[in-house]
Amino acid sequence: MSFINFATKEINCKIVYYGPGLSGKTVNIKWIYEHVRPENRGELVTLATETERTLFFDFVPIEISNVKGFKVRFHLYTTPGQIIYQASRKLILKGVDGIVFVADSQEERHDANLDTLDDMIENLKDYKMDIEKIPLVIQYNKRDLPNALPVDILRRDLNRWNRPDFEAIAIKGVGVLETFKEITKQVLRKLKE
Amino acid sequence: MLNITPEEDRELRKLLTELAKESKSKIVILIDKSGQLISRSESPAFSSDDITFASLTAGNVAASEALSKLLGDKDLNHMFTETEEEGIYMILLDGKYILVVIFDKDSSNLGIIRVKIKRFYPKVKELIERIEERTEKETTVSSDINVEEIDLDSLFE
């Protein structure tokens, strides 16, 4: 749920990176964190296992000032991708203003993409949110791997709503910023509606 | 979406500051269940990162709530976390917000906190309901906010 404070002139929005395990959600927000000016970012919190798999969520607030004196703060969250963490994923979606679906382009992970997308749609339904109305960006990650499926196939199966989508190699920062810019634009536009 | 006017912000801060003073706690924070910080008491000595604190508290409460449902209980009402020196008391407000009180165990205790919250809870609830009602009636966000003016490139080095 977005929150605007006219006293402190702050706008707060929640963006969730959703996707199957190891698709690169944490890599996306870590890249953003590392490349944003220190004065524009808060602390990066990761609740992960010893092997760096996300256990509950990662969180980082990103702030932009001077929008007519307003400060916009995007709260970026990732969900745990592994199947067993279904319950945790649902909790993190609560009050979401925009979603980035990070898909793994590798052929052998395509079923996981589809399962996770179904899981996301179901979770949104439980919160009475319609996937067709919520700001959404699809990212096809790991484009540099030899076993990556053609984008056409990924698009056909995952982007059924014809939403903005981007190819990415998140580990090198390719496509990360474009994805982030697009989702923030959509979230702010929705706020104005 | 929820929005707060400067006047409402002052009222809310005043209430939370009074609660912090009376309960001899370090700080009182009001957050929503999705992890947004709504307001906090005037507590200059408290230096922790409020934004991160709000997000982690919401996650903590959400997980405990899911646990209580798993056990067949209907709702979680409140929870308490204790560190070596501090106590963190969290109480759900209207099922949508979380009131968090952080206190030094040397200067206050859970009993005092709960008694004081009992007195302030209806006041905070009434105020937040009023804010919600007004927000709902408003159809558009202030024209002060111009989406096109936001320069995301300036964020990055």
For A138-177, the pLDDT digits (tens) are 999 999 999 999 999 999 999 999 999 999 999 999 999 9
In a domain, residue B86? The reply is yes
Average pLDDT, rounded, for chain B: 89
Domains of chain A plus CATH, in order, are 3-192 (3.40.50.300)
pLDDT of residue A9 exceeding 90, the answer is: no
Nearest to A42 among B36, B49, B155 (CB): B49
Structural domain tally of chain B? 1
pLDDT at B92 over 80: yes
Interface confidence, given as ipTM, is: 0.83
- pLDDT at residue number B152: 74
Domain that holds residue B78: 6-137
On the question of pLDDT at B24 being above 90, the answer is yes
Q: Which of A16, A11, A23 has its CA nearest to residue A180?
A: A16
pLDDT of residue B142: 58
CA distance B43 to B20: 8
pLDDT reading at B143 higher than 70: no
Specify if B155 maps to a domain.
no
Residues B16-41 have a mean pLDDT of 95
* Within-domain flag for B148: no
Which region holds residue A182: left if phi is over 0, alpha if psi is between -120 and 50, else beta? alpha
Residue with token string 């308490």: B80
Does the CB of A173 have a partner CB in chain B at under 8 Å?
no
The domain that holds B106 is classified in CATH as 3.30.450.30
Q: Could you tell me if B50 and B100 are in contact, meaning their C-beta atoms sit under 8 angstroms apart?
A: no
**Is the minimum CB–CB distance between A1 and chain B shorter than 8 Å?**
yes
Q: Per-residue b/e over A74-100, b at no fewer than 16 CB within 10 Å?
A: bbbbbbbbbeebeebbbbbbbbbbbbb
Residue A84's pLDDT band, with cuts at 50, 70 and 90, is confident
Tens-digit pLDDT profile for residues A107-134: 999 999 999 999 999 999 999 999 999 9
Q: Do A95 and B32 touch (CB under 8 A)?
A: yes
Q: Is the pLDDT of residue B122 over 70?
A: yes
- Percent of chain B whose pLDDT exceeds 70: 92
pLDDT higher than 70, residue A67: no
Beta bridge partners of A139: A102, A166
Which residues of chain B make contact with A96, given a CB cutoff of 8 A?
Answer: 34
The Cα of A147 is separated from the nearest Cα of chain B by a number of Å equal to 32
Q: Do B55 and A59 touch (CB under 8 A)?
A: yes
